[in-house]
A and B are shown apart, each in its own frame.
Chain A
Amino acid sequence: MQTRKLLLADGENDPVDAHAQPDRFTANGRDRVLEEIAVQIHCDTDIVAARQKGRVLAASLGFSSSELTLIATAISELARNIVLYAKQGEIVLRLYERGEQRGVMVRARDRGPGIPDVRRALQGGFSTSRSLGLGLPGVRRLMDEFEIESRVGHGTTVTARKWRR
């Protein structure tokens, strides 16, 4: 089974770089990591913890309050997908710098069942569980860059970024 990867913004493919250490460059060689935290996701209270940590972290970069709400909501949706579909996983929150720009990256990673049809999962209205079917398309709308890598039987990694304007 091939890994299905879909790149949905002009961002560079960011090979999964395990955990980049702060102040080092990530695998794509362009992003300098300013700060990074990982939140383990096992249950619904972890969803709240992840979005609260994400809000605090992104606030340190000077995002506006409405942008912080968008980011926190995106984290909430991604963390819930982990709880609903994969039972457990992690959310990595990273502040980074690319040239003159700074931004926040949210990466949700699990070793769950994977998504058989990634393209369909990104269309509005499609969902395999009891949701509005807005999880992934919603996150994509809230963030500036969105990319998903999923392999059936192995897991899913969703990476979303938002630049500070």
Chain B
Amino acid sequence: MEVPILKQGPYLIASIQSALSDADLVQLRDALVEQVGRLRSRGVIVDVTALDVMDSFATRTLRDITFMIRLRGAETVIVGIQPDVAFTMVQLGLKLEGVPTALDLEEGIAFLSKKDNGANKEAAPRGR
């Protein structure tokens, strides 16, 4: 099951619709890392609302996506981790350290635009 990736202005939104196999997750990773360059995106949102299980492989792959995309110069945010999934991840000791998360798509977009604005301000020439 391929995950649709939508372009929304400067951002890419990967909206997971159903349970994913390991191969699907790897395919998503590679597609995002490629498209973030081709479409010159500044941020990526991975919506995992539909995932009822996030095991060690899924967690690791989401972390890989975040770090690979950061190396490509863009920011990633994972949105929509469900309460039961969060509970299980904590029980398993899966932390997603260094990976930004937000409640839902709206919060994810807000997070990215805040990051983006901050970066623009820093890059802007300072007055003398």
Contact digits for B83-103, partner A, Cβ 8 Å, 1 yes 0 no: 111011001111000000000
> Count the B residues whose beta carbon is within 8 Å of the partner chain — how many?
22
Structural contact, B83 and A134, CB atoms closer than 8 A: no
- Contacts A66-B88, A141-B91, A142-B92 known; A135 to B56 CB distance under 8 Å? yes
**Nearest CB on A from B67, distance (A):** 15
| A47-B21, A47-B22, A66-B83 known; A132+B56 contact, CB < 8 A | yes
- B56-67: contact bitstring with A at CB < 8 Å (1 yes, 0 no)? 110110000000
**Would you call B19 and A48 a contact (CB within 8 A)?**
yes
Inter-subunit contact A69/B55 (CB<8 Å): no
| Chain B contacts with A in 94-115, Cβ cutoff 8 A | 94
Alpha-carbon separation in the docked complex, A122 to B59 (Å): 20
Which listed residue, B20, B84, B85, B93, touches A124 by the CB 8 Å rule?
B93
**Residue A151, interface by CB 8 Å:** no
- Chain B residues with Cβ below 8 Å from A132 are 56, 59-60, 94
> B52 on the interface (CB 8 Å rule)?
yes
What size tier do the contact residues of chain A reach? 20 to 34
Taking a contact as CB atoms under 8 Å apart, the answer to whether B57 and A80 are in contact is yes
- Chain A binding surface, main DSSP class: helix
In the complex, number of A-B residue pairs with CB atoms less than 8 Å apart: 68
Q: State whether B88 touches A73 (Cβ < 8 A).
A: yes
Query: What are the residues of chain A within 8 A of B60 when measuring CB–CB?
Result: 131-132
A12 within 8 A of partner (CB): no
| Contact, CB under 8 Å: A66 / B92 | no
Contacting residues, chain B, for A44 (C-beta < 8 A): 21-23
A70 within 8 A of partner (CB): yes
Which of B53, B54, B56, B83 has a CB less than 8 Å from the CB of A138?
Answer: B56
State the Cβ distance, A24 to closest chain B Cβ, in Å. 31
| Bound Cα distance from A156 to B87, whole angstroms | 29
Q: Does A51 contact B (CB under 8 A)?
A: yes
A51 to B91, CA, bound (A): 18
* Bound-state Cα–Cα, A55 to B85, Å: 13
Q: Which residues of A contact B (CB under 8 A)?
A: 44-45, 47-48, 51-52, 55, 65-66, 68-70, 72-73, 76-77, 80, 124, 131-132, 134-135, 138, 141-142
Chosen A-B contacts, 22 in total, with CB atoms closer than 8 Å, are A44-B22, A45-B23, A48-B21, A65-B84, A66-B84, A66-B88, A69-B52, A69-B53, A69-B85, A69-B87, A69-B88, A70-B88, A70-B91, A73-B88, A77-B56, A131-B56, A131-B57, A132-B56, A134-B93, A134-B94, A135-B56, A141-B92
B: which residues have CB within 8 A of A? 19-23, 52-57, 59-60, 83-85, 87-88, 91-94
The 8 closest A-B pairs by CB, nearest first: A69-B84, A44-B22, A76-B55, A138-B92, A66-B84, A44-B21, A45-B21, A69-B88
